[in-house]
Amino acid sequence: MAITAILDLQLKADSLETAHKVLHATLADTRAFPGCVDVTVLVDSDDPAHVVLYETWESIDHDRAYRAWRASAEGTSDLGSILAAAPKLSLFTVAEGV
């Protein structure tokens, strides 16, 4: 069953100029990871430092494998250098028959 991951990010105000490059590089690896269906980047209309990543994964197992990879030395990115706070991750499945 597909899973939707929503990653809520608050960027450092002084990192907005470099944030696009860091996100682009980070998400290139995310999109290439096995099981990644799509990643959409949403920017808050009132606060450009508030960014939400809307990710679709083939399954919860694919998402878990990706999160484990990101937590490893091999999967480390520069994302932390542009964050003002820890990201908030929420996982969702589609409610059937509603």
DSSP string, 5-52: EEEEEEB-GGGHHHHHHHHHHHHHHHHHSTTEEEEEEEE-SS-TTEEE
pLDDT of residue 2: 93
Structure confidence at residue 62 as a pLDDT band (50, 70, 90): very high
| Tally of domains in the chain | 1
The pTM of this model reads 0.92
84: domain range?
Answer: 3-92
- Per-residue pLDDT averaged across 74-93, rounded? 96
pLDDT tens-digit series, residues 18-33: 999 999 999 999 999 9
CATH code (residue 20): 3.30.70.100
Residue identified by tokens 């994964």 is 57
